[in-house]
Amino acid sequence: MALDYRKCAEEIFAQLGGKENLVSAAHCATRLRLVVVDNNKVNTKALEDVEGVRGTFESNGQLQIIIGTGTVNKVYDEFLAITGLTAATKDEVKAAAAAQMPVWKRMLKTVGDVFVPILPAIVASGLMMGLVEALGKIDALNFASTDWYGFLDMVANTAFAYLPVIVAISAARVFGGNIFLGAVIGLLMIHSNLTNGWNAAQGYDVWYLFGHVEIGNYTLGQINQLGYQGHVIPVIISVWCMSNIEKWLHKKVPEMLDLFITPLVTVFTTALLTFMLIGPVFSTAETYILQFAQWLITVGFGVGALAMGAIYPLTVVMGLHHMYNVIEAGMLADTGLNIWMPIASAANFAQFGACLAVGIKTKSGKRKAVAIPSALSAALGITEPAIFGVNLRLMKPFVFGMIGGAAGAMFGAIAKIGATAYGVTGIPGYLTINHIAPYTIMLAIAGGVAFALTFFFWHEEIEVEEDDDKKEEPKKVVTAPVDDTKSEVSVEDLADVISCNKSLKIKAPVIGEAIPYTEIPDDAFASGALGNGVGITPETEEVLAPFDGEIVSVVESKHAVGIKSKDGVELLIHVGIDTVKMNGEGFTCFVNEGDTVKAGDKLVHFDRATIKEAGYSDMVVVLVTNSFEFDEVKAL
């Protein structure tokens, strides 16, 4: 019987603690995404018992209610009608969810939002600086005296010399200000009329805007003619003030005068605040923070670094590790050497060692298929698959990884290892590191300790096998290989990846390696609440129709489609994990709801590079959303 969308929406609403407990609502391809005032007022158990609801979970301040493709949009429409809420964009829901977070967590999240987008510029400059410096040290080349050295040194140093400008632009985007006004504030803080911040010890002049009116030890209107090279915190605070001043003026100034008055008053007011108050206060505070971080790393024969190496993976789990970007950027801007990087690198490489040990020791084909690739990812500095997919689930490997990270970080501090960039750890860290041999030893200690502890002290639990079907471990499925001589992939290139009732086979919509749905790195998909199926790591960027059928749903952000076959199979093809947040960037959809398609027809094109640059997995999720209508649905 068809779901009563109105009744489903009413029953969901009844368990949410009343309208006053609702902040906003949106939906993606499969879920209602709600922000509530108080999660304790939500009756989660009763919510999961509502007909049509397949599960619930909380993520990043959002209450996500799993309903399913082709249905969620209809329930959402009824939900809006019942609650009186207006439709919200996913960005608005994300902002509302952030507003529900504790202040300290919002502040740390903001830091990450500012520094993550500028990571490519920092990495590029750091890699070039490391390369130029290495070539300059080779006496036989005499490279340091060449014009090429001077030119490349200038190119490599630019991002750090003008770091306040880059940070200001990114901060303005995060705070909702005009990014060009943000750039003006950043440039103002390193203006050529000011004494370069790195030359402060040589003295600088002072402006007295209001004469010599003294208030205690402070002279009113005193502005030190000193630039803020080497500082990032004052820039962020200044741009936050600028953005709020600008937004307030936009509301108050008549529209016909807004273009003239708002930018002028915004820049002038922010400049006064920056040079009279924000700059002096927060540059001093930042200096103390950096001194503390440097002391922490070196204190007690590396004991501080040992502690941070152990704690670092916990901050990754909590999503707080981007807060270190402030420290690393400050170190680079101040001294040109990031001595915090060895801590992150040791911690990440230790998780690699622990995950690799699990992959080698486990007798489970399914676990091995996840652990080995996840370990390799961690070796390259991307630890989330290893932490969330393997180590944290088993707990002991995660703890052993913390121990290995602590040991490696302690050695890194003692060996005085540093880097010329941030955001690059593990094996890629060789491109930015100052001492290659000690760095190699550090990675060997971190990874080796974690590997040994996991291999010898982690024991795999033997699962109880209930029947013959469960005795056989799910195998990784590899779809047909790509034929490089062909210009396009066709349906003949696609392998069968799912069977329904054994006789009905469903092809993969893309070419790549497939894993059982239980190993997909998303709680909703992995739970089976949306149906059984597979996740495919794609080698191509075209989603093809796996069978003849009708398009039953196309999400607004173009990253997911639902297709129904003549045999009654309802299939969700969802490109990427959390790619709903990309708002369609990198995706092109070729079909509309109600279209009839043939097997092999092009449904969606996606740009894998764009997805990865945005920080999301490009895994293609393929689920039979009406699995309950079949006796058996399984990965082949």
CB atoms within 10 A of CB 148: 10
Instruction: Identify whether residues 580 and 445 lie together within a single domain.
Output: no
Give CA–CA dist 619/614, Å, rounded: 14
Q: What is the pLDDT of residue 290?
A: 77
Q: What is the pLDDT of residue 370?
A: 76
Token pair, residue 421, equals 């960039």
Q: Is residue 626 part of a domain?
A: yes
| CB contact at 8 A, 327 and 293 | yes
End-to-end Cα distance, the chain: 30
Give CA–CA dist 544/558, Å, rounded: 14
Domain CATH for 58: 3.30.1360.60
Instruction: Identify whether residues 147 and 206 lie together within a single domain.
Output: yes
Instruction: Identify whether residues 411 and 492 lie together within a single domain.
Output: no
Give CA–CA dist 90/543, Å, rounded: 24
Q: Is residue 423 part of a domain?
A: yes
| CB contact at 8 A, 625 and 571 | yes
Q: Is residue 305 part of a domain?
A: no
Instruction: Identify whether residues 483 and 624 lie together within a single domain.
Output: yes
Closest by alpha carbon to 579, among 26, 113, 28? Answer: 28
Closest by alpha carbon to 357, among 310, 401, 316? Answer: 401
- Which among 27, 231, 559, 574 is annotated as catalytic? 574
> Domain boundary residue among 457, 484, 513?
457
Instruction: Identify whether residues 344 and 373 lie together within a single domain.
Output: yes
Whether residue 212 lies in the annotated active site: no
> Domain boundary residue among 222, 254, 288?
288
Instruction: Identify whether residues 383 and 422 lie together within a single domain.
Output: yes
382 is in which domain, residue-wise? 337-457
| CB contact at 8 A, 540 and 575 | no
Instruction: Identify whether residues 598 and 532 lie together within a single domain.
Output: yes
CB atoms within 10 A of CB 121: 17
Sign of the dihedral through C-alpha 583, 585, 587, 592: positive
Instruction: Identify whether residues 484 and 550 lie together within a single domain.
Output: yes
Instruction: Identify whether residues 402 and 517 lie together within a single domain.
Output: no
Give CA–CA dist 360/341, Å, rounded: 28
Q: What is the pLDDT of residue 329?
A: 79
Q: Specify the amino acid at residue 282.
A: F
Instruction: Identify whether residues 137 and 77 lie together within a single domain.
Output: no
Query: Which residue's entry shows tokens 């469960």?
Result: 470
Token pair, residue 196, equals 């370069």
> Domain boundary residue among 61, 82, 101?
101
Q: Is residue 311 part of a domain?
A: no
Q: Is residue 229 part of a domain?
A: yes
Whether residue 355 lies in the annotated active site: no
Compute mean pLDDT per 10 residues along the chain, 636 residues long, and list them: 81 85 78 80 82 74 76 85 70 55 66 76 76 77 87 87 90 91 95 84 85 78 87 91 95 90 95 93 83 79 88 75 75 82 92 94 81 85 77 88 94 91 83 90 96 92 44 44 52 79 84 85 76 87 90 86 87 88 88 89 90 85 83 79
Instruction: Identify whether residues 619 and 524 lie together within a single domain.
Output: yes
Q: What is the pLDDT of residue 102?
A: 63
Q: Is residue 297 part of a domain?
A: no
- Which among 8, 28, 241, 500 is annotated as catalytic? 28
Q: Is residue 578 part of a domain?
A: yes
Q: What is the pLDDT of residue 87?
A: 62
Give pairs for 565-571: CB < 8 Å, separation 24+.
567/500, 567/504, 568/626, 568/629, 569/500, 569/504, 569/506, 569/624, 569/626, 570/69, 570/70, 570/624, 570/625, 570/626, 571/506, 571/533, 571/546, 571/547, 571/622, 571/623, 571/624, 571/625
Q: Is residue 449 part of a domain?
A: yes
Q: What is the pLDDT of residue 473?
A: 43
Instruction: Identify whether residues 161 and 269 lie together within a single domain.
Output: yes
Spatial strand order of the sheet with 532-538 comes to: 477-478, 512-516, 532-538, 620-624, 570-575, 560-565, 549-554, 596-597
Q: What is the pLDDT of residue 105?
A: 63
Residue 397: Cβ-neighbour burial (10 angstroms; 0-12, 13-18, 19+): buried
Number of domains into which the chain is organized:
4
Q: What is the pLDDT of residue 475?
A: 41
pTM greater than the 0.75 cutoff: no
CB atoms within 10 A of CB 601: 18
